[in-house]
Amino acid sequence: MTNDAVYVEFEPVGRRGPCPAAETLLDAAHALGVDLTALCGGKGTCGRCLVQVIAGPVSPPTATETRLLTPAQLRSGFRLACQARPEGAVRVRIPAESLTTPQRTLVEGLEVPVEVRPAVTRHELVLTAPTLEDPTADDVRVKAALARAGAACHTADTALLRTISPLLREWDWRASAVVRGGEWVALLQPGQAMLGLAVDVGTTKVAAYLVDLQSGRTLASRGVMNPQIAYGEDVITRIGRTMEQPAEARRLQSLVSEALNQMVADMTAETGTVPEQVVEAVLVGNTAMHHLLAGLPASQVALSPYVAAVGEAMDVKARELGLVLAPGAYAHLLPNLAGFVGADHLAMILATGLAEQPGLVLALDIGTNTEVSLSDRGQIASVSCASGPAFEGAHIKHGMRAAAGAIERIKLENGQVTYQTIGGGPAVGLCGSGILDGLAQLYLAGVVDRGGRMQDAPGVRGTGTEREFVLVSEEERGGAPALTITQRDVRELQLAKGAIRTGIEALLHNAGRRAEELQQVIVAGAFGSYIDVSSAITVGLLPRLPLERYVQVGNAAGTGARLCLLSAAKRAEVQAIARRVHYLELARVPGFERLFASSMYLGE
């Protein structure tokens, strides 16, 4: 084998091109823009980057591949893309399940009334055309008109100035100038709506909202999977990529900005507007997502003591983030708290009014990184729980994201399994809500004991760690592999639910309160909105309380971002909340190990 480039062709996506022989098929896929799933970031632990080599020489199977793949798969040319290296021109087929497919994403959230007073102001101008007697420069002419209108304008965005002359003449010297903090940032045609963009950048999903900054109405919304998922399922893996290969930081940033630009293009096309009408943006995300998007160093976030580079709110030109909006548009990034508790959680606290709650209220946003806050008569403490991606379908044998064919509801009665899939079609895997339902049903039926051990029971096959409960048999799937919940799956779910419950109990212990005293539990986020709360209570993920005390609020972080887009005062409110919240480092809580161990048990 040489280090010369070899030719790689990926089917059925039709991508082909050169690849250095020393690189893996996964590297080649990413270089050629193929969205090949690699939840572990190419470390060889998830087994999700499965491909089939149809033709051409590749490196021999590694120990990782012989452990994760069956002999029959290896004989048929199946390999893990993160392990196999081309040794000549190769042709590779990518199974559908190895591509990052569209999934169900949640953009809906709370509707919270707000006085519309954004950070930008609009001023309608009627200008006189220049003449030989009055050859005043275009920018000076506009600034003078703004001054007459009572608008303080001290400077103008340079990129904007490159566009104004043809526009003023095309519009016959009638225009709307948009000013932000004394800076002229955009020029709109009379009658054009002044728009804003609110974004929640999650570890797994990205939600965006197109908002009319004068009426306050949300005109359109979009939700997509975070394209960074191809570089790792969790923030630690992604940050690790940037530490190993500094150039990857720019790639991770551009993946999100490109996705946002496409979302903006789609939403403006839907509403008959154009991206240049978007004059302001507000973005939220956890600390890692915030730093990767803003181009900030993130390695220190992943290492103890988990310190952010920037904690306060930031105002940067949207174009610096790679966003294609109005020429001078700003992006406002809400502040981070500490550790991985970032702007998204503060936005959720704002949207739910947690800081104003009079009693004992718990709020949590369940995801790959789960943030939990407890408000005790307005005194708020927060923790971050490394719950991992099990509830997103990762590390689960037949887990998948919430896409068509994913089992989302399960019932086990008298030994009979019934289930519901997203879209109503044949089952192809289990998404988070289905996995949680399945565990709850197995526990209630005695198939799994309180310690998580799978028992001898109808539907269970295999021995030891290879035990599994059959949900959909091979016969039901027409000869395809059965869909099961395995003993290993149960352990992964225990780790995830244990981390979250540990955070809840640590906050209660810190406040000197008990779970039964909770007057309300606010459950936010996509997973939290789709789960059956009774299943979460059954397995001990959430405290055993009357169901009426639980409120599922959807994407509250996105709602908080929209509030801050529409109201400059809300931005100040978020900063005040950040100063009030006490951050609790979970690993430093007295008795943390004991608390985590007890939280892994199923039930109460």
**pLDDT tens string 121-156:** 999 999 999 999 999 999 999 999 999 988 989 999
CB 249 within 8 A of CB 292: yes
- Domain residue ranges in the chain: 5-98, 120-188, 195-333, 354-385+515-599, 390-493
The C-alpha atoms of residue 227 and residue 205 are separated, in whole angstroms, by 8
Q: Name every residue whose Cβ is closer than 8 Å to that of residue 323 and which is 6 or more positions away in sequence.
A: 197, 257, 260, 261, 264, 281, 329, 331
The yes-or-no answer to whether 5-98 and 120-188 have a common fold is: yes
The average pLDDT across 544-568 equals 93
Cα→Cα distances 432→381, 438, 568, Å = 27, 10, 37
Q: Which two tokens stand for residue 45?
A: 């632990």
- Which pLDDT value is given to residue 46? 79
Quick: pLDDT tens for 155-183.
999 999 999 999 999 999 999 999 999 99
Cα→Cα distances 110→113, 225, 552, 560, Å = 10, 21, 10, 9
DSSP class of 280: E
Share above pLDDT 70 across residues of the chain, in percent, rounded to a whole number:
96
The residue type at 9? E
- Which pLDDT value is given to residue 2? 44
CATH of the structural domain 354-385+515-599, one choice from 1.10.3470, 3.10.350, 3.30.420, 3.40.50: 3.30.420
CB 27 within 8 A of CB 109: no
Quick: pLDDT tens for 281-317.
999 999 999 999 999 998 898 888 889 999 999 999 9
The C-alpha atoms of residue 567 and residue 590 are separated, in whole angstroms, by 41
The C-alpha atoms of residue 207 and residue 283 are separated, in whole angstroms, by 10
What are the DSSP calls for 60-98, one per residue? PPPHHHHHHS-HHHHHTTEEETTT--BSS-EEEE--GGG
- Average pLDDT of the residues of the chain: 90
CATH number for the region 120-188 comes to 3.10.20.880
CB 574 within 8 A of CB 515: no
- Which pLDDT value is given to residue 32? 79
Query: In this structure, which topology does domain 5-98 adopt according to CATH?
Result: Ubiquitin-like (UB roll) (3.10.20)
Cα→Cα distances 511→155, 479, 498, 573, Å = 50, 55, 20, 24
The C-alpha atoms of residue 468 and residue 481 are separated, in whole angstroms, by 13
Quick: pLDDT tens for 312-360.
999 999 999 999 999 999 999 999 998 889 999 999 999 999 998 889 9
- Which pLDDT value is given to residue 412? 93
The C-alpha atoms of residue 219 and residue 196 are separated, in whole angstroms, by 10
Query: In this structure, which topology does domain 195-333 adopt according to CATH?
Result: Nucleotidyltransferase; domain 5 (3.30.420)
For the stretch 310-329, what's the b/e string if a residue is b when 16 or more beta carbons lie within 10 angstroms of its beta carbon? ebebbebbbbebbbbbbbbb
pTM over 0.85: no
Most confident of 241-245, 540-544, 585-589: 540-544
Q: How far is CA 86 from the centre of its chain?
A: 33
Share above pLDDT 90 across residues of the chain, in percent, rounded to a whole number:
64
Strand 195-201 to strand 183-188: parallel, antiparallel, or no bridges (unpaired)? unpaired
**DSSP H helical ranges for 486-555:** 487-511, 526-530, 533-539
Q: Which residue has the tokens 């289905």?
A: 434
Quick: pLDDT tens for 484-539.
999 999 999 999 999 999 999 999 999 999 999 999 999 998 788 788 899 999 99
- Which pLDDT value is given to residue 1? 38
The C-alpha atoms of residue 103 and residue 110 are separated, in whole angstroms, by 22
